[in-house]
C-alpha cells in the first residue's frame, strides 16, 4: 500500500493500470419545462484518479454524487461527455468496437443487483459461460467447464451452477455476479455497491471472497460504495465524491484518520457509532445534497459547509496535492 | 416494579400460503417500559418487521396471530375489536416506515395528512388542526413550514418525507413509536439528522420507541436495550452495552464480529457460515444450530434435538442457547 500511486492529474511516473483524467458526464435534461433553460445534469464534473495494478480504490459519497456514473464511464457503458480514460495505456474512449470488446475482457463490473444482469431463463452456469463465448475465448463445452470451475471458486456447487437465478439467494447470486466478471480473467473489476443489498453476515462472506481473489490474482478494484466502514476495510486508497467531483483522495488510513475536506469530516461523523460508548460530538450537516442540475459557481459543498468562507461561493477550489499522496479541493488547506 | 407499557407474550404470527405455513414469528416475548428505546435487530426474514406489525395490529391475511398476547398499557390488543384497536393504533402507538414516500398519500397535501391524523380524538377544529400541523412540521425540523404544509409528497426529498412521517406519527402524542428501518433508505448525513431528531423527540416526550433495524450501528446510537431476532424468535435480549461488550448467543457474537472494523484493514472478516433458514423449513431444535460454530466446537447433541428455552444467566440479560443453560 506504501507504493500505491498518487491520485491526481500530475501523479507518479509509473503508468497506472487505470488512469482517468478530467472525466465529465453531462446529461441533457429532457423535461419540457426545463429544456429551454439549457440546464444539464452534471453527473460527473471533472474527475481524475488512478488505480494501480492489484490496488483497491474506494469511491465513496452519498447518492447523487456521481459514483456509479464514474464506474460505468470507465467501462464506457455510458459515453462520457469529456475527459480521458486510459486502461493499460490504451485510450478507452477512442477505442473502436473490436478494441473495446478486447478491453472489456480485461476490465469487468459487478453490480449491486446481480439478478438484473442475469437471464432469468438460463442456468447461472450458462450465464457465466456466455462471457467466454461472446469474447470468442472458448467453445461451448470448454466455456461450460470453465464456468463450473469459476463458480466452484466463488463457492457454488456444480448443482447450483445448473440452477436458474430465482432459485438462488441474494448472496449466492452475488457470487454468480463475481464469477461472471472473473471468468474472463480481468485485471480490473469495478464493484458498484456489491454488498449493499445483502445481510450483514452475508456481506462479510462476499468481502472475504473479494479480498481472497485479489490476493490470488492480483486484481485491482474500483470499489464504489456508500458504506464507509466497508470501504475503509477494503481499500488502499479512497476518493470522496460530492456533486460530481472528487473533493478528497488519500490513502485509506490517512483519509479516515485525519480527513482534510469538511465534507469528508461530515460524512465520517455521520457514520453510526461502532460502540455505544462512542457518543461523539456529531457534526450534523444541514440540508441534503442539492440537485446536480442547479446552476453552481464556487465550491459545490459551500451551501452546506460549516466552515464556508466568503470566497467559497464565488470561486471553485482547485483539486490539488496538499501533502504527498493526499489530494483535496478546499480553500481551508491553502 | 411498575407495569411495562407494552408486554408481548408468546406471540406467534404465521402466514398461511400455498407452499405451507410460514412461521414468521414463532414465540416472541418482549417487554417495553415507558420512555425506553429498544432496538429489534436481525437480518432479513428474521421476523422483526412482522413482530412490529403484530404489535401494531396490522397483520393481514394470509397472515394471522395464532397465539400469544400483546398488552398495551393494560389493554389486550390480540383479538380486540376494531374500535379498541383504532383508539390505540395511531394516537397511542404510531408507526413510521423505511419508505416514507410510499407511506404518504401522493394526492394529499402534507398539511391535510397531518390534519387527518389530528382529527381522531383531539377535538380540534380545522383551523386549529392547520396551526398544529405547521407547529409539528416546525418541531421535526422542516424549514419554512407554512409553505411546506401545502406541498405534496413528490415535492419532498427522502429525508424531508421521513420528517413529515414523524410529524404525522407525533400528532397523537403517542406513548410508543414503532420505527421500522426509518433511516435505511437515507444517505448517511441525512440518517444522522433523523436519528438526532428521533433521540431528541423521544427524550422530550418520554416516548417509548421500538426501533426495527438490521444496522447495529443505529442501535448503538439510539437504543437502551436490544433484542436480537433469528428465525422468528428473540435469541438474545440485553442492554446495548452488553450487546457490544458481552454478547452471549453465538449468532449475536457472529453478527458483531462480521462488521468490518477500522483497525483490521484488508484482513478477512469473521463470517457466519451458511445462510438464514427458509421459514417454511425450519430445522428441528435450535434454528441457528446448522450455522453455529460454537455447537460444532462443543459437539452438543441437544442443539439439533430440542429448541432451547430463554434463560437469564445475568440480570437483565436473556438468551436462548443450550451453551448457557
Contact residues, chain B, for A200 at CB < 8 Å:
43, 214, 216, 255, 258-259
- Its sign, for the CA torsion A201, A207, A208, A213, is positive
Distance CA B179, CA B267 (A): 35
Rounded (5°) CA angle A269-B180-B152: 85
Report the DSSP beta bridge partners of residue A23.
A47
pLDDT digits (tens, 9 = 90+) for A108-159: 999 988 888 889 999 999 999 998 988 888 888 999 999 999 999 999 999 9
Would you give the DSSP letter of residue A223? E
Contact B240, B226 (CB under 8 A): yes
pLDDT digits (tens, 9 = 90+) for B201-236: 999 999 999 999 999 989 999 999 999 999 999 999
Residue A174, chain B, CB below 8 Å: the answer is no
Do the domain assignments include residue B184?
yes
What nine digits make up the cell of B273? 457460515
Contact residues, chain A, for B240 at CB < 8 Å:
276
What nine digits make up the cell of A101? 470488446
Q: What pLDDT is attached to residue B263?
A: 57
Residue A270, chain B, CB below 8 Å: the answer is yes
Distance CA A49, CA A26 (A): 19
Distance CA B195, CA A172 (A): 33
What nine digits make up the cell of B237? 435480549
Do the domain assignments include residue B105?
no
Do the domain assignments include residue B192?
yes
Confirm whether pTM is higher than 0.90.
no
Q: How far is B88 from chain A (nearest CA, A)?
A: 32
Mean per-residue pLDDT over chain A, rounded = 88
Do the domain assignments include residue B109?
no
**Spacing of C-alpha B198 from chain mean position:** 14
**Edge-to-edge strands of the sheet including B63-72?**
B20-32, B6-17, B63-72, B75-76
Segment A51-64 mean pLDDT: 93
Residue A280, chain B, CB below 8 Å: the answer is no
Least confident of A216-220, A260-264, B280-284, B309-313: B280-284
Q: Domain range spanning residue B234?
A: 6-92+172-324
Contact residues, chain A, for B255 at CB < 8 Å:
200-201
Q: Which CATH number belongs to the domain containing residue B300 in this structure?
A: 3.40.50.300
Please tell me whether residue A148 adopts helix, strand or coil conformation: helix
CA-nearest residue to B277 within chain A is: A169
Please tell me whether residue B58 adopts helix, strand or coil conformation: coil
Residue A202, chain B, CB below 8 Å: the answer is yes
Q: Of the candidates A200, A256, A267, which has its C-beta nearest B262's C-beta?
A: A256
Flag whether pLDDT at A7 surpasses 60: no
Do the domain assignments include residue B145?
no
Q: How far is A233 from chain B (nearest CA, A)?
A: 5
pLDDT category of residue A13 using cuts at 50, 70 and 90: low
Q: How far is A234 from chain B (nearest CA, A)?
A: 5
Do the domain assignments include residue B156?
no
Give average pLDDT by consecutive 10-residue segment, chain B, 325 residues: 88 93 94 96 91 94 96 95 90 90 90 88 84 92 90 89 92 93 87 90 94 92 95 96 95 91 74 82 89 89 94 95 91
Would you give the DSSP letter of residue B89? B
Q: Of the candidates B187, B214, B265, which has its C-beta nearest A199's C-beta?
A: B214
Q: Give percent of chain A with pLDDT exceeding 90.
A: 66
Distance CA B92, CA B76 (A): 14
Distance CA B230, CA B96 (A): 23
Flag whether pLDDT at A98 surpasses 70: yes
CA-nearest residue to B225 within chain A is: A276
Of A74, A15, A22, which Cα lies nearest the Cα of A47?
A: A22
Contact residues, chain B, for A202 at CB < 8 Å:
43, 275
What distance, in Å, lies between the first and last C-alpha atoms of chain B?
Answer: 26
Task: Please tell me which residue, A280 or A37, carries the higher pLDDT value.
Answer: A37
Distance CA A70, CA A80 (A): 9
Query: Beta strands B176-180 and B93-96: pairing type?
Result: parallel
What nine digits make up the cell of B38? 429498544
What distance, in Å, lies between the first and last C-alpha atoms of chain A?
Answer: 27
Do the domain assignments include residue B282?
yes
Q: What pLDDT is attached to residue A39?
A: 67
Q: Report how many domains make up chain B.
A: 1
Q: What pLDDT is attached to residue A33?
A: 61
Contacts 24+ apart (CB under 8 A), B131-137: B132/B171, B133/B167, B136/B167, B136/B168, B136/B170, B136/B171, B137/B110, B137/B163, B137/B164, B137/B167
Query: What residues have CB less than 8 Å from B89, skipping those under 6 apart?
Result: B56, B57, B58
Of B60, B76, B83, B91, which Cα lies nearest the Cα of B11?
A: B76
Contact residues, chain B, for A230 at CB < 8 Å:
260
Flag whether pLDDT at A283 surpasses 80: no
Say yes or no for a CB contact (<8 Å) between A212 and B187: no
Contact residues, chain A, for B275 at CB < 8 Å:
169, 171, 201-202
Q: What is the largest CA-CA distance in chain B?
A: 69
Q: What pLDDT is attached to residue B239?
A: 96
For residue A323, how many C-alpha atoms fall within 13 Å in the half-sphere facing its CB? Answer: 8
pLDDT category of residue A4 using cuts at 50, 70 and 90: very low
Distance CA A284, CA A186 (A): 41
Do the domain assignments include residue B152?
no
- Go through A137-162 and write b for each residue having 16 or more CB atoms within 10 A of its CB, e for each that does not: ebeeeebbebbbebbebbebeeebbe
Query: What residues have CB less than 8 Å from B200, skipping those under 6 apart?
Result: none
Q: What pLDDT is attached to residue B44?
A: 85
Amino acid at each position: 500500500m506504501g507504493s500505491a500511486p498518487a491520485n491526481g492529474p500530475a501523479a507518479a511516473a509509473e503508468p497506472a493500470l487505470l488512469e482517468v483524467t478530467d472525466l465529465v458526464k453531462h446529461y441533457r435534461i429532457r423535461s419540457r419545462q426545463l429544456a429551454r433553460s439549457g440546464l444539464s445534469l452534471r453527473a460527473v464534473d471533472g474527475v481524475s484518479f488512478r488505480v494501480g495494478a492489484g490496488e483497491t480504490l474506494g469511491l465513496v459519497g452519498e447518492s447523487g454524487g456521481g459514483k456509479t456514473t464514474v464506474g460505468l464511464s470507465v467501462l464506457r457503458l455510458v459515453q462520457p461527455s469529456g475527459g480521458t480514460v486510459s486502461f493499460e495505456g490504451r485510450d478507452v474512449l477512442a477505442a473502436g468496437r473490436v478494441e473495446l470488446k478486447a478491453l472489456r475482457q480485461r476490465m469487468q463490473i459487478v453490480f449491486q443487483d446481480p439478478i438484473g444482469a442475469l437471464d432469468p431463463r438460463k442456468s447461472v452456469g450458462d450465464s457465466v459461460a456466455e462471457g467466454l463465448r461472446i469474447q470468442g475465448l472458448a467453445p461451448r463445452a470448454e466455456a461450460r467447464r470453465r464456468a463450473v470451475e469459476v463458480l466452484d471458486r466463488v463457492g457454488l456447487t456444480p448443482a447450483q451452477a445448473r440452477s436458474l437465478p430465482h432459485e438462488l439467494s441474494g448472496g449466492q447470486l452475488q457470487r454468480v455476479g463475481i464469477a461472471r466478471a472473473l471468468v474472463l480473467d480481468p485485471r480490473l473489476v469495478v464493484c458498484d455497491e456489491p454488498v449493499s443489498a445483502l445481510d450483514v453476515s452475508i456481506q462479510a462472506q462476499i468481502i472475504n471472497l473479494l479480498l481472497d481473489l485479489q490476493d490470488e490474482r492480483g486484481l485491482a478494484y474500483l470499489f464504489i460504495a456508500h458504506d464507509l466502514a466497508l470501504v475503509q476495510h477494503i481499500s488502499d486508497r479512497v476518493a470522496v465524491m460530492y456533486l460530481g467531483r472528487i473533493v478528497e483522495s488519500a490513502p485509506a488510513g490517512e483519509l479516515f484518520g485525519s480527513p482534510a475536506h469538511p465534507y469528508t469530516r461530515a460524512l465520517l461523523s455521520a457514520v453510526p457509532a461502532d460502540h455505544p460508548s462512542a457518543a461523539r460530538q456529531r457534526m450534523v450537516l444541514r440540508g441534503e445534497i442539492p440537485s446536480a442540475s442547479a446552476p453552481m459557481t464556487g465550491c459545490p459543498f459551500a451551501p452546506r459547509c460549516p466552515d464556508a468562507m466568503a470566497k467559497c461561493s464565488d470561486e471553485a477550489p482547485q483539486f490539488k496535492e496538499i501533502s504527498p499522496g493526499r489530494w483535496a479541493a478546499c480553500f481551508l488547506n491553502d | 416494579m411498575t407495569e411495562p407499557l407494552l408486554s408481548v407474550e408468546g406471540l406467534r404470527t404465521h402466514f398461511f400460503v400455498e407452499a405451507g405455513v410460514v412461521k414468521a414469528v414463532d414465540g416472541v416475548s418482549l417487554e417495553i417500559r415507558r420512555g425506553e428505546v429498544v432496538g429489534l435487530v436481525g437480518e432479513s426474514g428474521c421476523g422483526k418487521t412482522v413482530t412490529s406489525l403484530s404489535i401494531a395490529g396490522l397483520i393481514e391475511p394470509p397472515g394471522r396471530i395464532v397465539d400469544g398476547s400483546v398488552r398495551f398499557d393494560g389493554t389486550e390488543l390480540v383479538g380486540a375489536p376494531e374500535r379498541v384497536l383504532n383508539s390505540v393504533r395511531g394516537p397511542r402507538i404510531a408507526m413510521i416506515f423505511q419508505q416514507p414516500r410510499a407511506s404518504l398519500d401522493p394526492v394529499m397535501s402534507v398539511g391535510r395528512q397531518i390534519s387527518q391524523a389530528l382529527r381522531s380524538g383531539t377535538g380540534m377544529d380545522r383551523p386549529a388542526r392547520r396551526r398544529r400541523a405547521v407547529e409539528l412540521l416546525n418541531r421535526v425540523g422542516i424549514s419554512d413550514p407554512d409553505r411546506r404544509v401545502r406541498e405534496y409528497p413528490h415535492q419532498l426529498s427522502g429525508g424531508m418525507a421521513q420528517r413529515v412521517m414523524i410529524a404525522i406519527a407525533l400528532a397523537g402524542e403517542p406513548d410508543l413509536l414503532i420505527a421500522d428501518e426509518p433511516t435505511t433508505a437515507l444517505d448517511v448525513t441525512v440518517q444522522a439528522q433523523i436519528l438526532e431528531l428521533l433521540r431528541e423527540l423521544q427524550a422530550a416526550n418520554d416516548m417509548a420507541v421500538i426501533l426495527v433495524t438490521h444496522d447495529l450501528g443505529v442501535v448503538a446510537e439510539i437504543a437502551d436495550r436490544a433484542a436480537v431476532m433469528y428465525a422468528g424468535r428473540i435469541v438474545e435480549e440485553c442492554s446495548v452495552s452488553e450487546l457490544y461488550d458481552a454478547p452471549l448467543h453465538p449468532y449475536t457474537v457472529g453478527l458483531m464480529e462480521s462488521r468490518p472494523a477500522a483497525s483490521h484493514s484488508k484482513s478477512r472478516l469473521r463470517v457466519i457460515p451458511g445462510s438464514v433458514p427458509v421459514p417454511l423449513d425450519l430445522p428441528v431444535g435450535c434454528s441457528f444450530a446448522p450455522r453455529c460454530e460454537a455447537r460444532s466446537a462443543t459437539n452438543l447433541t441437544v442443539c439439533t434435538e430440542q429448541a432451547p428455552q430463554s434463560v437469564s444467566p445475568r440480570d437483565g440479560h436473556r438468551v436462548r442457547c443450550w451453551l448457557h443453560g
